[in-house]
Structure 1
């Protein structure tokens, strides 16, 4: 597929989103680590408990995907897409840089608020603007592949940032890492501004659709939507005895209820020609909630698996590289007396044999020690370390758990060209699935991916032995194919079916479904410790996703009919 067939604005929006996602995922990768890091550590954190950090993390992630609904509404009715992108980008940059301010909880919470609001203005409107670039007849048939290419930009940023974050936080401290996220966001805004100057078609695509006579004003929307939503959230927060596990969960679910009613009312009052496409989109939104509920466990359940159930010991060659770039601490290799060393050189005991150092790349203190044994190595491994038969250059070094978050974006970058080429191959033979059909395939493949982890759990005795890291690459490899069929196709479907006057609002609806899924992923991951057999936990995810696939399969004939009537005239 020749590059010049796509609109020139694609590369502008590609790199704008790449830099925005670089900052977003850099912050996300170290966010929890920062909150739970001790205040007395070399680079002081906030000293929160795991429970406090998890609650703030889950609420933040849900709100980040909820505010695009409001940002889309403002862009459709008032700000326009480009202005929303500028304001949102600057808000996010300010928020990331604000997180670099040490020892200030006020700065911490204000910074999170700025990031949440900024993402709401930025995220949906970049996606909508991209869709509008493809509305010209010569580009329309390339829209799906355009969104796939755009999605690859997102994941280039998501892949690189974890390495940058780890290096900066270990070498210079948390503040430098958070500031780097802000710098990345500013680069994205400057690139977008340059692109607006160089590529006039971006400005041409930024046109606010004319209002209909019965469209609500912003003041009316605030009265009938915003106020009820925040009032419902307040009720959810203050009611005694949590319904959904925590005050923040209750507040979020209650907040969503008026928003969901608003979408229902949007469909109910729509013109006859708009009803079917709006209904189709709302149906897709409802089903993909399940996809996000299981997919976003990569930051929770799969992280637990990577940390506690995966063999993370580095080989000698990798160890030398990691220690060179990421650790300035000297580790003794006294041959006769073993020195069991913690994060800052504190002694965890001595024994005869070669010395070792626990996890000196991540800088995480061993937790739950039993006679000096870190709790994420087995008794057999501990015995080998003690008798000197298992050590590399006299040290035990584990690759950092957080780097497993780069496996998924790595596969997105590698597999996107293959998926685009495959659909182009089918298209030339007039066998390419419709966009709703691709979403259905994505859900099925995602269900199959969890069977990889079922096999991993069974083969490792449900935690009795350490599993190979190959299982993580396996599950991410399969689920990434499903993701590429589903997530960018969802963005494409919204841009195709949404009535022009509410295009950004419906894109916000897509991100609203992501927000609800994020919250549910936290609820599901919270059950991790309740499953003695981890294979049953992963099987539950597979069955949930398979159920969502069956629902889409039943809706597919209707979805295709609506799609053909309103997209292909």
Structure 2
């Protein structure tokens, strides 16, 4: 038996349809697997070939090049995944296909003895993420189509699922990977991705007809029109941009876009391949530029050309608003290039340069804090799980039993981890543990920041971006201060862990000021028929930022050898803060370009 659209709100959990919490837990398991694997990847690749838990002994530059390409691709494939779901698979089958591919990807990575399986696993994860990521939110959006007043609350709950999964994934996969064996960490990520897929598959009837079939062209047009209407409800005080002439892509435009796409994709893949192996597609030089830099500069020039060409062909108001989006996207590139050091250079800093051995009072305090921040969220999530069981167990018993199995396993792992930590004479904090601070701070601080956005203190988009970049820079300033005692070229050190904690605190505050509001402004500033294209540009900006994060982070050894670790982190301090001040100063200009949109 399945629900219809009108039945969604008859079965409620905490005031929302039970189906929302099916999505909550499915997304939670997926984020568990993504962040659990991400926390381990660079550590595994760079760990010594010998020892109790040997890795592959890669140079940091090679590991971070692969990390950057993987995270960049993870933000590009959802553009294609959303397209296939809309026209071929439907949202629900796209989620199942994506989750299955990611399960196979994690399983492949658990076979750590062979590079082939690592690369195959990363490819499957990128493809699976492309099918999974955009279609979960598409189902959620469809569920609340007739109840827009509840959509903000629904997305807040969904966002909590994202961060709960990230928290538990980094905590447990990180612990098993570092303390027991890398295969155990990678394998655990795969187990819970499988749990998420099975739970969704056996409970999907709760969504009624939503996401079963791809939309027809007529339905897609209706969605575009309704989205345009929603954008218009922003009550812009200028001309109705949705009635401005359409600007279809010419054959020339499509050729240039295709060339840029192929060059960009090949460059992203070639970058780690050329470092890890002797194979290099761009093994030539043009003047003082090597082939790799030359081709990516050509691609960038062609991209800027087609972007300027397209923007200038629109009506004045729409053209101005698109320029505003491009400026915000430019800041987004540098934000993610810095923020994503969390999975790269900051993880290396935690592993090799931070004093993670605690004893005496320090050990007691850490054990108590770690227990509280682990058990309290688990109790809250278990309470939500019990509520969901009460509403859905009779109709969807198999899906609920799969979910229950997952939680019993989680509780078992949590108890095992905490008992091991209490039994140790000295506690060695896993390097991956620091990554959980981002999710913990988001869960704690997001309600406060949300209240600011709803008050009279809500600043313009440029001020939000500027403050976010400055906060990001302050986080890296904390690391620079902490690294001031590390000698030039040192490979290990014992810096206080407080500097990493402060860095994650300020980075999370910066994320809350920048990340959640970006797509919101895109949807406000362009007509519904263009939202897909502009979202694509926005995700492209995030992908570029992620790739830059790996490329710049990979220079850590060269910079610390020539200068020192403090200089490395000062780069990420000064550039974001300077850009933050710059974008705040642009506020009057951007406000004009937005033409009444706040």
The alignment's TM-score, normalised by the length of structure 2, stands at 0.67
Q: 1:245-394 maps to which residues of 2 (within 5 A)?
A: 267=311, 274-316=318-360
| Equivalent runs, 1:462-541 vs 2, <5 Å | 466-525=494-553, 526-527=555-556, 528-530=559-561, 532-541=563-572
Is 1:418 aligned to residue 465 of structure 2? no
- Structure 2 unaligned blocks of 5 or more: 1-11, 225-244, 271-280, 368-416
Which has the larger share of helix? 2
Question: Are 1:446 and 2:463 an aligned pair?
Answer: no
Q: How big is the shift at 1:433?
A: 3.0
Q: 1:549 aligns with which of 557, 571, 580?
A: 580
Stretches of structure 1 that go unaligned for 5 or more consecutive residues are 323-360, 362-391
Q: How far has the Cα of 1:198 moved from its partner?
A: 2.4
The aligned counterpart of 2:482 is: 456
Distance 2:289 2:20 in 1: 43
Matching residue of 1:71: 81
Q: Distance in 2 between matches of 1:7 and 1:257?
A: 48
| Pairwise CA distance, 1:512 | 1.8
Q: Structure 2 vs 1, CA of residues 414 and 225 (structure 1 numbering), >3 Å: closer, same or farther? A: same
1: distance between equivalents of 2:253 and 2:347?
Answer: 40
1:209: which partner in 2? 220
Matched, 1:165 2:165: no
Distance 1:499 1:50 in 2: 44
State the superposition RMSD in angstroms. Answer: 4.6
Give the 3-state SS of the residue equivalent to 1:31 in structure 2. helix
Deviation string 1:447-502 (CA, Å, 9 cap, x unpaired) is 33333334334578998984321221112112211111211122333344454334
Q: How does 1:118-137 map to 2 (within 5 A)?
A: 118-127=128-137
Q: Classify 1:467/1:43 alpha carbon distance in 2 versus 1 (closer, same or farther; 3 Å).
A: closer
Deviation at 1:410, TM superposition (A): 2.0
Answer yes or no: is the 8 Å Cα contact 2:178–2:430 preserved in 1.
Answer: no
The residue that corresponds to 1:408 in the other structure is 438
Distance 1:84 1:297 in 2: 31
| SS of equivalent residue, structure 1 residue 209 | helix
Note if 1:153 corresponds to 2:184: no
Task: Provide the C-alpha distance between the structure 1 equivalents of 2:425 and 2:59, rounded to a whole number of angstroms.
Answer: 29
Change (3 A) 1:243 1:409: farther
CA 1:162–1:69 in 2, change beyond 3 Å: closer, same or farther? same
Aligned mates of 1:313, 1:37 — CA distance in 2: 18
Whole-angstrom CA distance in 2 between matches of 1:194 and 1:435: 42
Give the drift of 1:162.
Answer: 2.3
Contact 1:26 1:161 in 2 (8 A): yes
In the alignment, structure 1 residue 139 sits paired with structure 2 residue 149: yes
Query: Match for residue 274 of structure 2?
Result: none
Partners of 2:426 and 2:176 in 1: how far apart?
Answer: 23
Can you list the C-alpha shifts for 1:320-362, whole angstroms capped at 9, x where unaligned?
A: 999xxxxxxxxxxxxxxxxxxxxxxxxxxxxxxxxxxxxxx9x
The answer on 1:28 being equivalent to 2:73 is no
Displacement of 1:22 in angstroms is 0.8
The Cα of 1:554 is off from its aligned counterpart by 3.8
Q: 1:562 to 1:234 in 2, by over 3 A?
A: closer
Q: TM-score, normalised by structure 1?
A: 0.70
What is the total number of aligned residue pairs between the two structures?
492
1:175 aligns with: 183
In structure 2, what is the Cα distance between the partners aligned to 1:460 and 1:36?
20
Corresponding residue number in structure 2 for 1:92: 102
